[in-house]
Amino acid sequence: MRILLASSEVHPYSKTGGLADMVSGLSKTLARAGHRVGVVTPLYAGIEDRFSGLSRISEAFDLPVGPRRITAGILALEAEEGLTIYFVEQPGFYQRAAPYGVNGTDFVDNAERFVFFSKAVVELARRLPWRPELIHAHDWQTGLVPLLLLEEARQTGWPQPPRTCITVHNLAYQGLFPRHAFALTGLSWEHFHSEGVEFYGQLNCLKAGLLHAAAITTVSPRYAREIMTGEFGCGLDGLLLRRRHALTGILNGADYGEWNTTGNPFLEHSFSPADLSGKARQKSVLQRELGLPVDPSVPLFGSINRLVEQKGVEIQLAALDKMLGEGLQFVLLGSGDPGYQRAYQELADRHSDRMAVRFGFDQGLSHRIEAGCDFFLMPSRFEPCGLNQLYSLRYGTVPIVRATGGLDDSVIDAQEDSSGATGIKFRDYSSQALIKAVGKALALYAEPEWMAHYRCNGMAADFSWQKTAASYQGVYQSALNL
C-alpha cells in the first residue's frame, strides 16, 4: 500500500504527547512491513539544526488561506527505507517556541496555522510522484483533510484521489474556532450547518474529518465504545454512533526499540525479568538525581503527565497528603497548568524528604522515572489509550490505573486474573478510591515474591507495534475497498 500519514507532531522531530509516539511507531512499522510510507508534519523551530539530511524537494507552492496566499516549502528526510518524512516549511507559522502555544495559552492564529497545514497535506498528496492511495489524518489539526480532499478532487477532476482515514487520539480536543474562521478554508458555506462542520455556531475541524473520512479509528477498543456515549462523547457521540460501522478501536503499540531496559542511552543499568538487580540500581540513581533519600526499601511511586484535569491531577493532589504519610516516596514529572504546578511544588516543599517534582519536558528523566519507580500512577478521568502504562509494564514498574479507556484495556488486575495480574485498577473517580488502590500497592510491596510476579507478568506483556500496525492495515484495506 502507499500511505501518507499527516500529523502535527511526530517523534523524534516534535512531541507534546502520545500522538507523536503513535505516528512514529505506526509509520516505521508499516514501512518495515514493505509499504511505501510518507509522514507529513510542520517544520518547527530547531528541527533543521537537530537533524541532518533534510533536502528541499520540488518548488514551493502557494495556498489560499482566507484572503491571503501563503507559501509552503517542502523538505524531505529519508528516515529509513520506505519511510520519508515531509516537513512543511512556513516560518511565520511554525518557527515558534512550541507547536500549539506557550504557558498553557494557544497561539491566536492556530486556525490559520492548521487550515494551512491541512491544505498543504492535500496539495502534497497530489504532487507526490508515488501517488499515495490513502491519507491517514490524526486529530483536529488535520481534521479538515478528508473534506478538503473531496472538494479538491471534485473541483479539479483528480483521477482516483486517495481514500482517507482519521484517528481520534483525544476527543476532548476538537479544534473549535469562531464561525469566521471557516472562511479560511475556502470551502462552500453549504458545509457550515449542524449536520456539517458547524458545532454550536463554531467551526469544528475534527468533526469535518469524522463526517468525511472513509474510516475512523481511535486508540483503544474501550475508548471507541466510550465516545459513543454522552459521558465521553464531548457532543459528538450522536455523530459517532451514526458512523459506528466506520469506527474501530485499536490499542496503540509501544516502541520497544526506544522503551527498552537493555542498552538504553538514558539508563545507567540494564535489567531483565531474569535479573532485576539493575532495576534496583536504577532506583538509587533516580532517588539520587531527585535529591530524595537513597533507600532501596522505600516504595517509590512516579507519575509523568501533561498537567491537565483529564489526567486526574485533582484526585492525585487530594490523595497525596495522605499517601505521603504512608512511608512512600513520590516523584512527578509534568508540564502544563501553572496553578497545578504550584500545588505540586507546595506539597513537595512540605514533604521534601518524600516527594520531588520536576516541571518541563524531559525525555531522559521520563525513562529514568519509568525504570526507577516501583509503581506508576495514572488516575485519569478518561484516557483514550495512554502510553506510560505500557512503558511501565515493560520497565517492571507496576501501574496503578483508573479503569477507563486504554488503561482498562492494557492492564490486568488480580480480580480479572489472579495469576496473570500486571497492575492495580480502581473504578471510582475519587481520591478515596485512589488512596485505597495505593494501599493495595503497599500491601503488594510488602510481599516481595508477589511483587516480582507482577513485575515479570508486566515485562512479558506484548504491546509491540506489529499487532497494532496489522490492525491498521485491515482498516486501510477496507477503506480502499469501499
Q: What's the helix, strand, coil split of the chain in %, to 5?
A: 40, 20, 35
Beta carbon of residue 220, minimum distance to ligand ADP (angstroms, whole number): 10
Strand 424-426 with 398-402, pairing: parallel
**Quick check: 74 and 121 in contact, CB under 8 A?**
no
User: Which residue, 24 or 164, has its beta carbon nearer to ligand ADP?
Assistant: 24
Dihedral sign from CA coordinates of 296, 283, 383, 479: negative
User: Which residue, 299 or 405, has its beta carbon nearer to ligand ADP?
Assistant: 405
**Quick check: 397 and 375 in contact, CB under 8 A?**
yes
- Using DSSP's 3-state secondary structure scheme, residue 123 falls into helix
Q: Does 335 bind ligand ADP (CB under 6 A)?
A: yes
CB neighbours (10 Å) of residue 72? 21
Q: Does 387 bind ligand ADP (CB under 6 A)?
A: yes
Beta carbon of residue 249, minimum distance to ligand ADP (angstroms, whole number): 15
User: Which residue, 300 or 479, has its beta carbon nearer to ligand ADP?
Assistant: 300
Task: Tell me which stretch binds ligand ADP (CB under 6 A): 30-38, 303-311, 319-327, 451-459.
Answer: 303-311
User: Which residue, 123 or 139, has its beta carbon nearer to ligand ADP?
Assistant: 139
User: Which residue, 298 or 308, has its beta carbon nearer to ligand ADP?
Assistant: 308
Q: Does 306 bind ligand ADP (CB under 6 A)?
A: yes
Give the DSSP letter of residue 152.
H
Q: Which of 18, 143, 249, 253 binds ligand ADP (CB under 6 A)?
A: 18
User: Which residue, 122 or 385, has its beta carbon nearer to ligand ADP?
Assistant: 385
Query: What string of DSSP letters covers 103-114?
Result: TTEE-TTHHHHH
Beta carbon of residue 63, minimum distance to ligand ADP (angstroms, whole number): 29
Cell of 281: 540500581
- Using DSSP's 3-state secondary structure scheme, residue 310 falls into helix
**Quick check: 216 and 143 in contact, CB under 8 A?**
no
Q: Does 337 bind ligand ADP (CB under 6 A)?
A: no
Residue 313 to residue 434: CA distance in whole angstroms? 12
User: Which residue, 18 or 38, has its beta carbon nearer to ligand ADP?
Assistant: 18
Cα angle, residue 433 at apex, residues 335 and 425 outer, rounded to 5°: 80
User: Which residue, 8 or 388, has its beta carbon nearer to ligand ADP?
Assistant: 388
**What strands, in cross-sheet order, belong to the sheet with 176-177?**
176-177, 202-204, 198-199
Q: Does 304 bind ligand ADP (CB under 6 A)?
A: yes
Q: Does 361 bind ligand ADP (CB under 6 A)?
A: yes
Phi-psi region of 410 (alpha: psi -120 to 50; beta: other; left: phi over 0): alpha
**Quick check: 213 and 164 in contact, CB under 8 A?**
yes
**Distant-in-sequence, close-in-space partners of 460: CB < 8 Å, separation ≥ 6:** 273
Q: Which of 12, 17, 73, 221 binds ligand ADP (CB under 6 A)?
A: 17
Q: Which of 8, 27, 261, 388 binds ligand ADP (CB under 6 A)?
A: 388
Q: Does 386 bind ligand ADP (CB under 6 A)?
A: yes
Beta carbon of residue 38, minimum distance to ligand ADP (angstroms, whole number): 23
Q: Which of 3, 9, 21, 316 binds ligand ADP (CB under 6 A)?
A: 21
Residue 45 to residue 97: CA distance in whole angstroms? 7
Q: Does 240 bind ligand ADP (CB under 6 A)?
A: no
Task: Tell me which stretch binds ligand ADP (CB under 6 A): 2-10, 302-310, 315-323, 411-419.
Answer: 302-310
Task: Tell me which stretch binds ligand ADP (CB under 6 A): 17-25, 124-132, 147-155, 454-462.
Answer: 17-25
User: Which residue, 61 or 100, has its beta carbon nearer to ligand ADP?
Assistant: 100
Torsion of CA 406, 407, 410, 413, to 10 degrees: -150
**Quick check: 116 and 10 in contact, CB under 8 A?**
no
Task: Tell me which stretch binds ligand ADP (CB under 6 A): 12-20, 146-154, 262-270, 445-453.
Answer: 12-20
| Residues 364-383 contacting ligand ADP, CB under 6 A | 366
List residues near ligand ADP by CB under 6 A.
Answer: 17-19, 21, 304-306, 333-335, 361-363, 366, 385-388
